[in-house]
Structures are given as C-alpha cells and as structure tokens.
Amino acid sequence: MPDYQPVPLPDWQSYSDDEMRRRAKDYLEDIQRRHSVRAFSDKPVPRDIIEACIRAAGSAPSGANHQPWHFVCVSDAETRRKIRIAAEHEEAEFYSGRAGEDWLEDLDKLGTDQHKPFLETAPWLIAIFLQRSGVDADGNKQKNYYMSESVGIATGFLLNALHRAGLATLTHTPNPMKFLSEILQRPATERPYMLLVVGHPADDATVPGAALQKKSLDEIASFV
C-alpha cells in the first residue's frame, strides 16, 4: 500500500464512563429540542456562523473520502425569490394531484401546503448537491462511491451543527428539484439532494403537536 501514510490519532479525547453518560444525555436533551420549523423570522444570521456549520458538514465520512457534496448557501434575496417561485410551482402540482391520495393523507398532520413563504423570509437557504462524479487533483474524472449515504451523513452533520449553533432548520424537498441546478448553475454531474431552510423561528412559529412523537427506544433498537 504505497499510498497509505499513517499518523497517530491526532486529536482524540477520552472520557470516563460517567463523563460519557453525561455527554450522551446532554446531547440527547439538546437534539430532542430540534424541530422542523416552517415559519421563520427575517432576522439576519451572520455568514461566518453558516460557514462554520458547513465546515462541520464537510468533516463527515464519505466513500473513499471523496466528499461528494457541494453546499450552495443562498442569502441573496433575488435568488431566494426565484427558488420560492420554482418550488411553489412544483408544490402546486404535488398538492393538486401528483402526490397521490395516500401521500397527501400522510401529510395532513403536518399542516403543509403548496405555499412556501419561508423560502423568502428565512435569511439562508442551503442547497445541497450530490456529486455523481468528481475531479481528481490532475483534473481527471473521478468515480464517487456511496454518494447518497455520504451526502446523507454530511446533511445530518449540518443539521446538527446548525441546531447546536442555535438556528432553526427545515429539510425541504420540493419534487422534482431540477430547478435548483438551473437557478444555482450547478453542473450536470451534480444532483440536487435537499434544500435546507435556515434562520431564527418566527415568534409565532408552531409545530405539529401529536405528530412530533418519536418512536421509543424499544421500537427503534434491539440489542443482541
């Protein structure tokens, strides 16, 4: 393995069982306060906070460490307006039939509809793109691996970083999302993966009550 150049774990921190217990519980309590928010304030969020969160996302593991993602952070009002118009166009189709009855019935409890004013109200939209292929250091086309797993993990890191920073988020997936590639001028090698809405919640923001219930530990895990 001529390319393998190992170094000792550079920055590992160890904790006692009690410290780990406390850290695990603190994290659990904090992340349980994350909720998808659909009503945002227009209060600005400084760009450097978004940058730190994107760097956290960029630290995610990925297939062969190819990091097959690109994050377009949009604060420009005109671009957010274009995205809103295009997204609402797709959502109108979705809610007026494309979704099908079962899907719409499943969404009843969320209180969503085709109107997405938050795409213009929130100070930041983060469009996440999955790179089907990349470019290596010599400019040659590079194969990527486990792209959706990798971008999913990075997106999870990003949501977590934003929440920890004190920001509200919405994972938004208008379908199809091709308009994002066009508006944001991304290459055909990239597939729009998800649109995150980021900012402070509106003072009168609400969340669905009973529909927020998460499955219990017994339901989601088994120990062998």
34 binds ligand IYR (CB under 6 A): no
| Closest to 145 (Cα-Cα) out of 211, 68, 37, 54 | 68
- Shortest reach from residue 108's CB to ligand IYR, in Å: 11
- Shortest reach from residue 95's CB to ligand IYR, in Å: 7
96 binds ligand IYR (CB under 6 A): no
Backbone dihedral angles phi then psi of residue 148, each to the nearest 5 degrees? -70, -30
- Shortest reach from residue 209's CB to ligand IYR, in Å: 16
With CB under 6 A as the contact rule, the residue among 68, 91, 147, 161 that binds ligand IYR is 91
Which ranges constitute the DSSP H helices of 125-222?
Answer: 147-165, 178-183, 217-220
Backbone dihedral angles phi then psi of residue 173, each to the nearest 5 degrees? -130, 70
What is the rounded CA–CA span in Å between residue 174 and residue 91? 6
**Which 48-87 residues touch ligand IYR, going by CB under 6 A?**
none
CB closest to ligand IYR, residue no:
112
What is the rounded CA–CA span in Å between residue 93 and residue 175? 9
What is the rounded CA–CA span in Å between residue 128 and residue 131? 10
With CB under 6 A as the contact rule, the residue among 59, 96, 148, 173 that binds ligand IYR is 173
Rama region for 111: left / alpha / beta (φ>0; ψ in -120 to 50; rest): left
174 binds ligand IYR (CB under 6 A): yes
Residue 58 carries which DSSP code? T
Which residue, 72 or 170, has its beta carbon nearer to ligand IYR? 170
With CB under 6 A as the contact rule, the residue among 77, 110, 135, 211 that binds ligand IYR is 110
Which residue, 112 or 121, has its beta carbon nearer to ligand IYR? 112
Which residue, 66 or 116, has its beta carbon nearer to ligand IYR? 116
Cα 147 to Cα 51, 93, 126, 150, 174, distances in angstroms: 22, 29, 18, 5, 20
With CB under 6 A as the contact rule, the residue among 172, 193, 195, 197 that binds ligand IYR is 172
Stretch that binds ligand IYR, among 24-32, 42-50, 78-86, 104-112 (CB under 6 A): 104-112
The footprint of ligand IYR (CB under 6 A) covers 91, 94, 107, 110, 112, 172-175
